[in-house]
Amino acid sequence: MENETDNAMLEASFDLATRIDEAESAIGTLRSDVDEVKARLDRVSRAASRPLLDGGQASPEVKGFVDGYLRRGSETQVKSINGAAPGDGGYAVPREIDAAIARHLQDISPIRAIAQVVQVGSAGYRKLITRGGTSSGWVSETAGRPETGTPGFAEIAPPFGELYANPAASQAMLDDAAFDLEGWLASEIGQEFARAEGAAFISGSGVDQPKGFLNGPKAEEGDATRSFGTLQFVKSGEAGGFSELAEVTLIDLVHTLKAGYRQGACWVMNSATLAKIRKLKTSDGAFLWQPGLVEGQPDRLLGYPVVEAEDMPDVAAGTFPIAFGNFKAGYLIAERSATQILRDPFTNKPFVHFYATKRVGGQLLDSAAIKLLKIAA
């Protein structure tokens, strides 16, 4: 009898120990789950506290595109978003992200900031412009109206090319909810696009890319005799640089531009050329270059703002290092508004590449609106 009691007590103690072990295991699992939930809530809280692209609530379109496609590669979620149909090897980004890319381009790309930019719905764009305006005449109140001369027309069809960027991020960065993916992507794409198009708008060949305003015929003849599409230049007076009469040369260059175009005109040159221009003085010892007196206002040369474009050529014999004109009237940039993005997690594991493309074209619009300075005797 005593042995049976001892066995019962021993079994009860084993059962109690087993229950204690199971309870401790369950508590440990619960603590792990609580810690994981806390970590997720912390990441979500940090992500919610960062500023959004448009300064307000993220739209369902942006949230679905960023969290669904960019972070996890869920094409099904992207296809369910209205207007995000695949095309050109990628998906059209939501308008908020596309607007952020456009803001970066406007801030970084110097020619885009001063040229005429139009949005097109297809890869081609054509525009008819008149050469010399429409003829007119004077008549009395009761006299007949004879037919006037027909104006000449020219067709502008800027060559297009596909601009692309291919930034990469690690999967760990994408998994972190606090990582501002949309802001990072807009910045990376905007900087790469601006670098590439900045060179094309100035000296692009026109073959699978915009045609730069410097890549075309040039002549010394004035607007009345020069052929359409040919830019007028003024010589510097010195074979290798600026002459002692540089002030007079620059004034002549300003006034080769018609008065109507001088409203809104600016200088375009690179930093090395600007350094030389800043050292030029008038006959009474005053500097031609004038710093901006108010923060945010551009520096000025002979009263006109100066735009620094690093892709302009340096001062050397036979080059055209300075342009002066009204680029809103003189140069046309045409682009498809939607940027396409293709997520590529396979090419360079463990990094995820975002292959972004955009169709952009450009061409000289009005050859009377831009003038050049040529380094020549």
The mean pLDDT of 346-372, rounded to a whole number, is 91
Q: How many CA atoms lie within 13 A of 278 on its CB side?
A: 12
Eight-class DSSP state of 22 = H
Q: Please tell me which residue, 203 or 340, carries the higher pLDDT value.
A: 203
Pair of tokens at residue 79: 């296809």
Residues in the chain: 377
Provide the pLDDT for residue 119: 86
**Which residues is 133 bridged to in the sheet?**
none
Structure tokens at 199: 């060179």
Report the DSSP beta bridge partners of residue 370. Answer: 325
- Contact present, 374 and 323 (Cβ < 8 Å): no
| Range from 41-50, 102-111, 225-234 carrying the lowest mean pLDDT | 41-50
> Can you tell me the distance from the alpha carbon of 288 to that of 247, in angstroms, rounded to the nearest whole number?
7
Return the ∠ at Cα 316 (arms to 313 and 321), rounded to 5°: 35
C-alpha span between 265 and 351 (Å, rounded):
46
pLDDT at 48: 46
What mean pLDDT do residues 29-36 have?
A: 67
Q: What is the fold, at CATH topology level, of the domain defined by 60-131+151-208+334-364? A: Major capsid protein gp5 fold (3.30.2400)
Return the residue matching tokens 């030029």.
280
pLDDT (tens digit per residue) in 163-213: 989 899 888 888 887 778 888 888 888 889 999 999 999 999 999 999 999
Residue 363, pLDDT > 60, answer yes
Helix (H) or strand (E) holding 91: strand 90-92
Question: What kind of architecture, by CATH, is found in domain 218-331+369-374?
Answer: 2-Layer Sandwich (3.30)
> Given pLDDT bands bounded at 50, 70 and 90, which one contains residue 287?
confident
DSSP SS3 for 67: helix
Rounded mean pLDDT of 209-238? Answer: 93
**Which contacts of 220-227 are long-range, i.e. CB under 8 A and separated by 24 or more positions?**
222/256, 223/258, 223/368, 226/367
Q: How confident is the model at residue 49 (pLDDT cuts 50, 70, 90)?
A: very low
The mean per-residue pLDDT over the stretch 243-255 comes to 90
Contacts of 188 (CB under 8 A, 6+ apart): 165, 167
Across the range 128-155, mean pLDDT stands at 74
Residue ranges of the domains in the chain?
Answer: 60-131+151-208+334-364, 218-331+369-374
Q: Please tell me the chain's helix, strand, coil percentages from 3-state DSSP, rounded to the nearest 5.
A: 35, 25, 40
Fold match between domain 60-131+151-208+334-364 and domain 218-331+369-374: no
